[in-house]
Chains A and B, each alone.
Chain A
Amino acid sequence: MSTVAQAKSDRLEIGGRTFTSRLIIGTGKYRSFEEMKEAHRASGAEMVTVAVRRVPLDRSSESFLDHLNPSLQILPNTAGCYTAEEAIRTARLAREALDTDLIKLEVIGDQTTLFPDNEQTLEAARILAKEGFVVLPYFTDDLIMARKLLDAGCPAVMPLAAPIGSGLGIQNPANLRIMREQLPDATIIVDAGVGTASDAAIAMELGADAVLMNTAIAEARDSAKMAEAMKLAIEAGRLAYLAGRMQRRLYASASSPLSGVVR
C-alpha cells in the first residue's frame, strides 16, 4: 500500500467519533462571519470550537451557531474560566444547550500568559469525566500531567506549544516528542502556539495526532488561504511522521555513487 493510500485510511478518533481531518479550528477573532465560513471551508476541518457566554440582555443577539456549517462537529470550550468550578458549570451548560458530551476543558491560571492551571484542570477533568463528558483538556506540555489526565478518563490530551494566540510556533519540541514516545497510544492534540503552516507541520512531524488553532488562521491577512495552507501542512506533517524521517548527521553524506567519477 502506498503512503498516500495509508494516509487516506489514517483517521483521527476521539471519544468514539472519527475524523478524516486532523485540523481542529476556532471560531473567534474573524473579521466577519463570511470570512470565518470561507476559512472553515478551506481548512477542511470537521470540528470547530466555540465559547460559552452569557446572552446579552436588552438587545437582540444573532444565533452564532447558525453561521456554522451544520456538518461541522461543534466542540464547546470553557475558555475564560479560571477555576474548576466555573469550568464545570460552563461544561454542563454547554452540554445542555448543544446536546453534546464533548468539551474542550480550559482552566486558565494567569491572564498575561493564559497558561493553564493544571491543578484545577485535573480536578475539573476528573469530575466531568465521571459525569460522562468526553473531556479534551488544554494543559501545559507536561508528561506526568498528561498521564494523570488520561488516567482521569480523558480520551485525548491537548498540550500547548506556546502561549495562546502568540503565534510563536512550537516552542517545546523536546517535551512534545517525549510525550509522544512515552504515551504511544494516547491521542495528543497540540493546542495553541501555531503561527504559520510550517509550525503545524512541525507539530505533526513530532507525532501529534491533531492540531487545534484559531488565531493563526483568523489573523492571517487572507484567512481562507492560510486555512488551506494549514490543511496542507497538517497532511504533509502527518505523512512525514508516518514515513519516518532520516537520521540527522553532522557531516555530509554523498547521494551520488563515489565510484566512476570522471577524473
Chain B
Amino acid sequence: MRPLKFLHIHVNGELREVDNDLSLPKLVSLLNLKPEQIAIELNKTVVRRAQWENIRLREADQVEIVHFVGGGSDSYPQITQITTVQLRHSISKSN
C-alpha cells in the first residue's frame, strides 16, 4: 500500500492535516509551542519528553497537549472537551 502523504490527527480535539511521519518535536514547533512546561498525551497515554523524538504520528492519532494555567479549587472546561468552532477553524486553516 502506498503510504499516505498527509495524516489526519486530532490535536486538543481539533482536526489537523499534517505531514506523514511527523515527529512530536516537529508538531510542537509547527504549533509554535514552547516545549518547556508542556506535556503530551498520545492516544490517552503520556509520552515522556525523552521519547518525543522517537514518536512518529499515525493516521487518526489523538494528541493532547497541556500546560498550566491559574487555578485554585475550581472548575474550568474539562480536558476532553471539544469545541466545534475551533474544529471548523482548524480544518479551513490546514488547506
The interface residues of chain A lying within 8 Å CB-to-CB of B68 are 50-53, 64-65, 74, 76, 94, 97-98
Cβ-defined partner of B12 (8 Å) among A57, A86, A92: A57
Q: Is A192 an interface residue (CB 8 A)?
A: yes
Find the residue from B14, B33, B71 having the highest chain A CB count within 10 A.
B71
Stretch of A26-34, A149-157, A170-178, A241-249 on the interface side: A26-34
Considering only residues 27-52 of chain B, those with a C-beta below 8 Å from chain A are 31-34, 36-41, 44, 46, 48-49
Contact between B90 and A58, CB atoms less than 8 A apart? yes
Considering only residues 36-70 of chain A, those with a C-beta below 8 Å from chain B are 36, 49-55, 57-58, 60-61, 63-65
CB distance from B42 to the nearest CB of A (A): 11
Cβ-defined partner of A25 (8 Å) among B36, B38, B72: B72
Q: What class of interface size applies to chain A in its complex with B? A: 35 or more
Find the residue from A52, A81, A111, A215 having the highest chain B CB count within 10 A.
A52
Contact between A93 and B73, CB atoms less than 8 A apart? no
Q: How far is the CA of A98 from the CA of B70 in the complex (A)?
A: 15
Contact between B79 and A86, CB atoms less than 8 A apart? yes
Find the residue from B13, B75, B76 having the highest chain A CB count within 10 A.
B75
Inter-chain residue pair count (beta carbon < 8 A) = 156
Nearest A-chain residue to B64, judged by Cβ? A54
Contact between A53 and B76, CB atoms less than 8 A apart? yes
Q: Is B91 an interface residue (CB 8 A)?
A: no
Q: Is A196 an interface residue (CB 8 A)?
A: no
Q: What class of interface size applies to chain B in its complex with A? A: 35 or more
Per-residue CB contact flags for chain B residues 57-93 toward chain A (1 = under 8 Å, else 0) read 0000000111111111111111110000010011001
Nearest B-chain residue to A52, judged by Cβ? B66
Per-residue CB contact flags for chain A residues 123-158 toward chain B (1 = under 8 Å, else 0) read 000000000000000100000000000000000000
Find the residue from A28, A55, A63, A90 having the highest chain B CB count within 10 A.
A55
Contact between B46 and A55, CB atoms less than 8 A apart? no
Q: What 4 A-B pairs are tightest by C-beta distance, nearest first?
A: A26-B72, A214-B72, A51-B71, A97-B39
- A-B residue pairs in contact (CB < 8 Å), sample of 7: A28-B71, A28-B74, A53-B76, A77-B73, A79-B75, A93-B39, A215-B72
